Structure 1
Amino acid sequence: MTTEISLQDKIAVHASRLGPSGLSPYAPGTVGSAVAIILAPVFFMPLPIWLRVLVIAALFCWGSIQITRAEKILGSKDPGEIVLDELVGQWITILPFASLSFWWMLLAFALFRLFDITKPYPVKDSEKWLTGGWGVMIDDVLAGIYAMGCLGALHTLFA
């Protein structure tokens, strides 16, 4: 017996993978973060700060629901192909900035990846605070907040 995958299931998996980004055979999380940085100057940074906060909040809620559904479909808890959480974390990293040069964007990317990969306290523990996609998302939110703090401090000192 075959089961038909609904359109909502397909959307959940595709969104959770951030399109084809999550299907990268090499470091899909890094690819997802790179896609987020590439999209940000066009779709995120031009928005006023209040709308950027709203976009992140909406992506967190909607994305958590999509990831929860995708985990069930894919049959795995937080599989590497799920990278929508990287977009949220990466955009949190650059949240306070209306624009950044290429080098500052590259630093934002590197800082987020550093905190997302090393998962300093309480980033690692936060995965257990919430269930499903909510737990997948929250650690990237915290990694993004750490990275935003570092980027902001460095930008204040050196820009």
Structure 2
Amino acid sequence: MSPWHPAYILTTWFWVGRIPIAPGTWGSLAALPFGWIIMAEGGPAGLLVAAAILFAVGCWSSAAYAKGIGRKDPGSAVIDEVVGQWMVLAVLPLDVWAYGLGFALFRLFDVTKPWPVSVADRKLTGGFGIMADDVAAGLYAMAAAALLVHWFW
């Protein structure tokens, strides 16, 4: 698959996923400035709508990308990290420290994959499967972030 194919560009989130070490972490970091801009312009609802749209696009693009490079769930596919990261940011204030917290929480749940994130990671296939485990991790991180902000922010 050409690196200029739209599925390649989107799935690797503008080639960030091609960074060889910790592509998921880099993908989550690359989601932050986009999330900041969307949140500043559209608020939490706008960011969640953007995440939902990107989820749908990601189901298509990650399936095409995985097929194009011949791998089922390539680590370089980071559009799923972007969606999960944006979900968490939607419950946080527009603040650098809050975004740092959101980044850390999402990475925690994405890396540790508590149940049912681990089930989604193992059992679901195709583009939906690539996207689903990060959405599940995003839901955990959203809940944790919302509670922390409610109690301590």
Q: For 1:92, which of 80, 83, 87 is the aligned residue?
A: 87
What is the Cα deviation at residue 29 of structure 1?
0.5
Q: For 1:18, which of 5, 10, 13 is the aligned residue?
A: 13
Q: TM-score, normalised by structure 1?
A: 0.88
Q: 1:45-124 to 2 correspondence within 5 Å?
A: 45-97=40-92, 99-124=93-118
CA deviations on 1:24-57 (whole Å, 9 max, x unpaired) are 1210100000011122111344314443332222
**Greater percentage in helix:** 2
Amino acid at match of 2:64: R
What is the Cα deviation at residue 86 of structure 1?
0.3
User: Residue in 2 aligned with 1:148?
Assistant: 142
Q: Is the 8 A contact 1:92 1:145 kept in 2?
A: yes
Hey, which bits of structure 1, 4+ residues long, moved more than 6 A? none
Identity in percent: 39
What is the Cα deviation at residue 158 of structure 1?
1.0
Amino acid at match of 2:114: P
User: Residue in 2 aligned with 1:27?
Assistant: 22
Amino acid at match of 2:102: A
Question: Where does structure 1 lack aligned partners over 5 or more consecutive residues?
Answer: none
Q: Is the 8 A contact 1:45 1:95 kept in 2?
A: no
Whose Rg is larger? 1
User: Residue in 2 aligned with 1:157?
Assistant: 151
Q: Distance in 1 between matches of 2:150 and 2:76?
A: 35
What is the DSSP-based 3-state SS (H/G/I as helix, E as strand, rest coil) of the residue aligned with 2:53?
Answer: helix
Output the aligned Cα RMSD. Answer: 1.9
What is the Cα deviation at residue 155 of structure 1?
0.6
CA deviations on 1:91-147 (whole Å, 9 max, x unpaired) are 0111234x3321111110000000000000000101355430100111100101100
CA deviations on 1:68-99 (whole Å, 9 max, x unpaired) are 000000100111111000000000111234x3
**Number of residues paired by the alignment?**
153
User: Residue in 1 aligned with 2:127?
Assistant: 133
1:24–1:152 distance in 2 versus 1, CA, 3 Å: same
Q: Distance in 1 between matches of 2:80 and 2:8?
A: 13
